[in-house]
Amino acid sequence: MRRLWFFTLHSLLPWGALLLHIVIFISYARRWDKLAALTVFPFWAWGLLGLLMAGGAWIFTRQRFALGIAGLWLLTVLGFSDETRPLLRQFWKAAPEHGMPAAAPDGAKVRRIITLNCKVGFFNPASVREVIPWQPDVVLFQETAQPAVLRQVAQELYGGNPDDHAVGSWECGIISRGKLVRRGIGALPHMVSATIQFEDGSMLDVTSVHLHGAEKDVRLYKRETLYKHALNRVTHRNELQQLLTVQTMMNAQRPALIGGDFNAPAGDSIFRLLSTAGYTDAIAAAGTGWPDTYPNQSPMLRIDHLWGNARLIPIRACTVKTLHSDHRMVVGDFVMK
């Protein structure tokens, strides 16, 4: 037993932590579909495991090799976790606040856009109403309330004829300060899109999307789990490719935003489609504070996103804890070019 304990502390734990680092780092860097089950976890979760293994070995043995592996894990977690930049950015960058959004540093007009998966909104309209204190210009809803409730909230926020400011069904919806001059449902099973014309004549294409449900099987020791996560990744990629095709056909020259519940964590390979098409992740570019959105009480995954094209520039963004949903809302302030 003593030999086994010695072997575990001096060899198995530190070398195991190093092997885990190699496997996890390469998996997150490459994002292979076959290993999607590994990368569905936040990177820092694997980092905590690696630190526990190597740090535990060092505490009992004071072995320099174990300390070095613990340091390697720590540096990698700080450098590659999606949460690091928004957390550091909060020390010098302001986050969106309640009320009308402040102007951009150069004085440019700012448009506030929110995405919120209401979850229980169909049964509890209070979930939808949580966006009101933020005075948004556009709200993208998923798993939302009945259309009548959307129109009611739109009228309370913007006045006028609510049919000019709200569109959607129980799955996805949009309300807007500007007039909806074009609306469409059907490019994907769970999405709604619209072209918005604001009072100053500027126009914005927006799409609220709720991609195929996330795969929740985490039994990594089973081959079936790897297959299910890989298939789910392919399904998400195909849905997003269809959406981008439709978005490009509408008007590739206008400011455009795609947002909602993607059921995929930040950094997932499906988002390469958006970045390649010239879209920018608002939280990654300008977010402050803890960025994850699910689950609402103790968020560990960022599956709710706002992505704007090159003519929609994020200047502030954050996530906000909700009262009536299992998701946090994402609030973004943008400048239209």
Residue 268, both tokens: 């997932």
What does each of the 337 residues of the chain score in pLDDT, given as a tens digit?
667 666 676 788 999 999 999 999 999 999 999 999 999 999 999 999 999 999 999 998 999 999 999 999 999 999 999 999 999 999 999 999 999 999 998 999 999 999 999 977 566 788 999 999 999 999 999 998 788 899 999 999 999 899 999 998 778 999 999 999 988 765 566 889 999 999 999 999 999 999 998 898 999 989 999 999 999 999 999 999 988 887 766 666 899 999 999 999 999 999 999 999 999 999 999 999 999 999 999 999 999 999 999 999 999 999 999 999 999 999 999 999 9
Q: What is the pLDDT of residue 1?
A: 67
Contact 325, 117 (CB under 8 A): yes
**Residue 258 dihedral angles phi and psi, to the nearest 5°:** -120, 120
How long, in residues, is the chain? 337
Name all contacts of 185-194 with Cβ < 8 Å and 24+ positions apart. 187/242, 187/243, 187/246, 188/239, 188/242, 188/243, 190/142, 191/243, 191/260, 192/167, 192/168, 193/246, 193/247, 193/250, 194/167
Alpha helices in the chain (DSSP H): 2-7, 13-30, 36-39, 43-61, 64-80, 84-89, 126-129, 147-158, 223-251, 272-276, 282-286
- Report d(CA 136, CA 113) in Å as an integer: 6
Contact 311, 320 (CB under 8 A): no
pTM value is 0.94
- Report d(CA 164, CA 122) in Å as an integer: 21
Q: What is the pLDDT of residue 122?
A: 62
294, burial (CB in 10 Å: exposed 0-12, middle 13-18, buried 19+)? buried
Strand bridging mode 256-261 / 203-210: parallel
Q: What is the pLDDT of residue 49?
A: 96
Residue 289, both tokens: 């504070």
Q: What is the pLDDT of residue 188?
A: 64
CATH code of 89-336, in short, is: 3.60.10.10
Contact 113, 334 (CB under 8 A): yes
DSSP secondary structure code for residue 221 in this structure:
T
Q: Where are the domains of the chain?
A: 2-81, 89-336
Q: Which amino acid is at 230?
A: A
The DSSP H or E segment spanning 333 is strand 329-336
Nearest Cα neighbor of 229 from 58, 34, 22, 96 is 34
Q: What is the pLDDT of residue 187?
A: 58
